[in-house]
Amino acid sequence: MSESAENIVTYSSTGRVATITLNRPEARNAINGDVASGVEAAIDRLEADDDVWVGILTANTEGQKNPVFCAGADLKAINSGQAGGLNTKRGGFAGFVYRERRKPIIVAVDGLATAGGCEIVLAADLVIATTRSAFGLAEVKRNLIAGAGGLFRLPRAIGQAAAMEAILTGEPIPAERAYHLGLVSRLVEPGRAMDEARRLADQITACAPLAVYASRQVVLAAAYETDDKLKTLTNELFAGVMASEDTKEGLTAFIEKRPPNWTGR
């Protein structure tokens, strides 16, 4: 019997922040069809809720001797002919790596993120990791290639030289080195990734959401668009933000020397 996607991917929200949790610790949080559909449903829920402005993606590692955020694709599912179920039409692998969305997602990693697990991390917007974490694309050790974005996103994140070494050797990058290379935003002690992710999420939700969404869009486009296209995109988004109610609120709050009351409109 198939596992329930509702049970192996959980969703909860507190205030302006939603938490999505991979919940297959007994399988090292490997991605099967239920996980992929569960993640996609969770992203749908996040995007549709106007009261939630930021998401945190994490994983349950309870009972694991050596914590694993995600081991990538479930090889048992692939071996049984279910490889197609590991992707969704809108999200790609894990229902996430190619998913278009407005809202920023912070990934909180406390353990190994390897193969497709690393590609999930690379598809997030910000990375919080503990000192016992590591990030790797081990596919070459199994005569495979990283097919869910890792081959082009890792060089963007840490530079071609470091990425080429990690990709061609299949060896994981320790969290401290990943932090110094720029993949990890904040490095914390084991067990503290979620606490730090919530702090970062609270800092983001203190800002105007429309401006956050627009700024995120330009930063992501900068990796592949020309300066002329980025200028046009920035101008279009700037005009939309300036026409919003939140811009008037932000300026009024500044003049009145009080905290702004953002509405996302």
Number of C-beta neighbours around residue 95 at 10 A: 28
Measure the CA–CA gap between 155 and 114, rounded to whole angstroms.
16
Residue 225, domain CATH: 1.10.12
Q: How confident is the model at residue 6 (pLDDT cuts 50, 70, 90)?
A: low
The residue out of 205, 223, 245 marking a domain boundary is 205
139 has catalytic annotation: yes
Q: Are residues 156 and 36 in the same domain?
A: yes
Residue 187: pLDDT above 90? yes
Residue 129, domain CATH: 3.90.226.10
Q: Chain-wide mean pLDDT for the chain?
A: 93
For the chain, the domain total comes to: 2
Rounded to 10°, the helix 150-158/116-123 angle is 60
Pick the catalytic residue from 3, 119, 165, 225: 119
Q: Are residues 200 and 241 in the same domain?
A: no
Measure the CA–CA gap between 226 and 229, rounded to whole angstroms.
5
29 Cβ contact list (under 8 Å, min separation 6)? 22, 23, 35, 59, 60, 61, 68, 69, 70, 71, 117
Measure the CA–CA gap between 113 and 252, rounded to whole angstroms.
45
164 assigned to some structural domain: yes
Q: Are residues 188 and 216 in the same domain?
A: no
Report the candidate in 133, 137, 124 with the shortest Cα–Cα distance to residue 57.
Answer: 124
265 assigned to some structural domain: no
244 assigned to some structural domain: yes
110 assigned to some structural domain: yes
Q: Are residues 141 and 194 in the same domain?
A: yes
Pick the catalytic residue from 40, 100, 139, 225: 139
Q: Are residues 221 and 195 in the same domain?
A: no
Helical ranges in 2-137 per DSSP H = 5-8, 33-48, 75-79, 116-123
187 assigned to some structural domain: yes
Q: Are residues 214 and 197 in the same domain?
A: no
Q: Kindly report, residue by residue over 120-179, the tens digit of the pLDDT.
A: 999 999 999 999 999 999 999 988 889 999 999 999 999 999 999 999 999 999 999 999
Measure the CA–CA gap between 46 and 103, rounded to whole angstroms.
8
Q: Are residues 129 and 239 in the same domain?
A: no
Q: Which residues of 99-118 are buried (b: 16+ CB within 10 A; e: fewer)?
A: bebebbbbbbbbbbbbbbbb
Q: Give the three-class secondary structure for 114.
A: strand
263 assigned to some structural domain: no
Q: Are residues 178 and 249 in the same domain?
A: no
264 assigned to some structural domain: no
Domain range holding 119?
5-205
Give me the mean pLDDT over the 98-103 stretch.
96
Residue 3: pLDDT above 50? no
Q: Kindly report, residue by residue over 31-77, the tens digit of the pLDDT.
A: 999 999 999 999 999 999 999 999 999 999 998 889 999 999 988 88
Q: Are residues 189 and 243 in the same domain?
A: no
Q: Are residues 173 and 230 in the same domain?
A: no
Measure the CA–CA gap between 105 and 124, rounded to whole angstroms.
6
Q: Are residues 201 and 220 in the same domain?
A: no
**Residue at 105: amino acid letter:** I
Q: Are residues 243 and 186 in the same domain?
A: no
pLDDT at 5: 53
262 assigned to some structural domain: no
Give me the mean pLDDT over the 225-230 stretch.
89
